Amino acid sequence: MSGHQLQTGASEGIITSKCLMVFIVLSLNKNKSMFRTLILICLFICPDIVSSQQFSKGELIGSIGFTYGKKARFIHYNKDQFPDILAYPFVHINNGDGHKQETIQFAESENMETLSVADFNNDGLDDVVVLHKDGKIKIFMNSSKGLKELKQKFKIGYYAIEYSDIYVADINADNNLDILINRFGGSIMAFTGDGKGQFEKFKEFRQLFGDFGFVMSKDIDGDGKKEIISEQVTTSGDTNKILVKIRAFKNGNYVEKGSYEIQTRVDVFYIEDIDNDGDLDFVYASEYDNGIYWNERDEQGHYYKKHKIETKEIPITFFLSDMDGDKDLDIVENIRVPPTKPSENFWLENIENGKFSEEKPIVAKHESAYLMITDMNDDGIGDFTEFSVRNGYRISVGINNNMTLVYQDDWVITGSISDFDFLDINNDGIKDIIAASEHRLFYYPVSKNGEISDAVPIIQNENYFNKIILADMDNNGLQDVFWWDERTKIDRVGWYKNLGMGKFEYQEVNLMNTRVPNADLIDFDNDGDIDIVTYEIRRTDGNSRKGFYVYLNENGTFNTPPVTISESDQFKQLFVFDANVDGKLEIIDLSKACECYTSFENKENNTFKVPFLEKCYGFYYNLIMADIDNDSIEDILIDERRKLSWSKVNANKIMQPIEIIEESPNIEKLIYTGDIDNDGDIDILYRTSDYVMVDVEAFMNKYKLMWLENDGTGYFTSHFIGNSSGNSWRIKLHDIDGDGDLDAFQSQRKWHNYGLFIYKNNQKK
């Protein structure tokens, strides 16, 4: 009963071509016997032709995620004077006083390595160039109709994508902006622009120009032509000399106009008039050195004179902006701190002609992971934009009022959704989506026709939600929210009592000073209410004990100390499952011990080996009861490492030998079951992750959401639902729009694709 697997992904185009060829032959062939044979071949090659399922593209629901670090940019999206925020694939529009006016999605959510913003056609609107994880380069041109992808006449791409950066500069002195891509330890590629958004490869660049650390173009000598400025490192013995080279492009060659030694490797580099003398200076810093450095341009146009601005700590980055309205450039530095502490930001006032004050602290709103400075309200003074990744994910704009930051409402509140489920929060008979994101619990209201509204907060506190389980913890008829937290300094286990209409009350279970890698629910003492089982690592007197413990429930109060079920110094893997198919749950150790623990009341025979698993290696990710063969008896679905299998349970509750459904190194540890095609039998939703080589120097992950169609006997056919752009925390099935079929959900955790995605099941009737 081994299931047939339809090839998908890279082979989809080949299969489509085969199908087309078969249909052409069918249309021309008049031999009935040959016609029937060809039909069977066609259905074998292309089973999706007769599949009744068709899923929509993944749609991000609820709040919008944002991009972290170098992938966030300011952008002039429209003709007003206020900068907006680009967080691929979204633009957040600034209304002019630091408030978000609206959010616009201009592209599909795809794997993106890096991007850059520039006005390629000089129309006053910023355009966008994006380098994707698969090596594709996409150009989005801006107009009154918004950002739209411009198909390129020539093939442009760059496949050594990891750790890559995109630079925009005029590299051939034609006053059109060009694209440069450089990778740490990799090759350089250049694409020249025509001023209208079309680009083609500039093959001569590497041999004419050589390696560089960064590159930019600017008219630094006022001759009307932009020079190319880059960092290069020369080595002599054990000594490295760090140079900034200035070149001009003339008659098809790069002519050097100057080479100047600077004081440190460059992570941040500006060309600005920092001393107010009318010419442009070099201002720069390194992530490995205290201080901010600048080379002054003299009357002869040279950069030999060096200065250092002392700083107490090493800046992660720094910005040049007029922060106090006196028409000169001050410095704002963002200091490296441990990730659990708030960011430290300082400003150094430009007192006179490049002489700076001591560092003055700036009180920011959040523990920012990334900071940007620009004038958000057109008053001539630099404002703060923080990208916070602590206590929820958000963009916060702080308007600068005499160096006191006045924060507006957070632009974005969303993040990596660690878990989600479906619960009727507001008692309207429709299940809403309840979700957890790090330290926040919230829900998306759902209407009768499946419309999903913006997220409504429920709880935000110091607890970290690893996982949520819906269960009636106090037997009052309402589903409560059980959770556990292993991410804070003190692990916690608790539940939120459902008070109705979206209100919940925090209840904590008293633990010892212990770590809790896993927790679950079980009626262990068979008294009709739900108890809590934990896998804890307890440290006493320098020793570590690992065990399973049960906290017994008495009307919503969980007794301590807990009942010890099993304890040793060996690693354990907690799972709760009906291992002997008797209708009651057991506690299972899926590590090498592979033991089951029944109710502690049965003291004489309270342990047994898992009967359907010959060996335990600690690789079992999930066990699910499901009627695989449609005989009204639940079988056991086994999600093993890189393999999906099932064990048939017969009428005598005896488990049969394991049958493999799907075996592949690409299967992830996420499965969910349900009748996806409405034919009365159980299908399987699952994820794959292909780590593929796209170039001699580069790899990438290609994620796919798939489903296995069950013919009712345990014979499965694989189908493609959609591409994913990041790792998933959870996948589930639920009829969100009330049309009678199950839609697919997944929560993603890639930086630029945080959030919950839905794939609508558009069943063909």
- Write down the pTM of the prediction: 0.64
In the prediction, which pLDDT does 532 show?
A: 94
Whether the ω angle into residue 457 lies within 30 degrees of 0, i.e. cis, is: no
Sign, CA dihedral 231-235-241-246, equals: negative
Chain centroid to CA 96: 29
Low-confidence ranges of the chain (pLDDT < 50): 1-20, 22-24, 26-27, 39-40, 43-52, 63-70, 391-392, 601-604, 693-700, 751-752, 765
Q: Tell me if 228 sits within 8 A of 247, measured CB to CB.
A: yes
Quote the CA–CA distance of 376 and 374 in Å, as a whole number. 6
Map residue 428 onto helix, strand or coil: coil
* Cα–Cα distance measured from residue 514 to residue 567, given in angstroms and rounded to the nearest whole number: 14
User: What pLDDT is recorded for position 610?
Assistant: 67
Q: CATH number for the domain including 513? A: 2.115.10.20
Q: What is the pLDDT of residue 615?
A: 59
For residues 131 and 154, give the distance between their C-alpha atoms in angstroms, rounded to a whole number.
16
CA distance 722 to 115: 24
Is position 190 within any domain? yes
Give the pLDDT score at 605. 52
In a domain, 503, yes or no: yes
Predicted confidence at residue 301, as pLDDT, reads 93
Of the residues 214, 229, 263, the one at which a domain ends: 263
d(CA 6, CA 706) in angstroms, rounded, equals 11
Query: Residue 555: its pLDDT value, please?
Result: 85
Give whole-number Cα distances, 124 to 75, 118, 635, 716, 743, in Å: 11, 10, 64, 56, 43
What is the Cβ-side half-sphere exposure of residue 558, based on CA atoms within 13 angstroms?
24
Q: What is the model's pLDDT at position 148?
A: 96
Residue type, 490: I
Query: Are 140 and 86 spatial neighbours (Cβ–Cβ below 8 Å)?
Result: no
Residue 349: what are its φ and ψ, rounded to 5°?
-75, 130
What is the rounded distance in angstroms from the CA atom of residue 458 to the CA atom of residue 503? 7
- Report yes or no on 491 lying in a domain: yes
Which tens digit of pLDDT belongs to each residue from 23-81? 445 445 555 555 555 544 554 444 444 444 688 887 777 544 444 444 678 999 999 99
pLDDT number for residue 7: 31
Beta pairing partners, 333: 318, 346
Q: What is the pLDDT of residue 229?
A: 92
* pLDDT at 142 (0 to 100): 97
Can you give the CATH number for the domain in which 160 is found?
Answer: 2.130.10.10
Helices 12-28, 32-45: crossing angle, 10 deg rounding:
170
Q: What radius of gyration do the chain's Cα atoms show?
A: 31
Domain that holds residue 562: 466-616
Domain boundary among 247, 263, 279: 263
Of the three residues 243, 263, 283, the one that is the final residue of a domain is: 263
Of 670, 687, 682, 570, which Cα lies nearest the Cα of 628?
682
pLDDT of residue 488: 55
To which residue do tokens 């009052």 refer? 476
Amino acid at 352: E
* Total domains present in the chain: 2
| Residue 662 falls inside a structural domain | no
Q: Are 645 and 660 in contact (CB under 8 A)?
A: yes
CA–CA gap between residue 684 and residue 744 (Å, rounded): 11
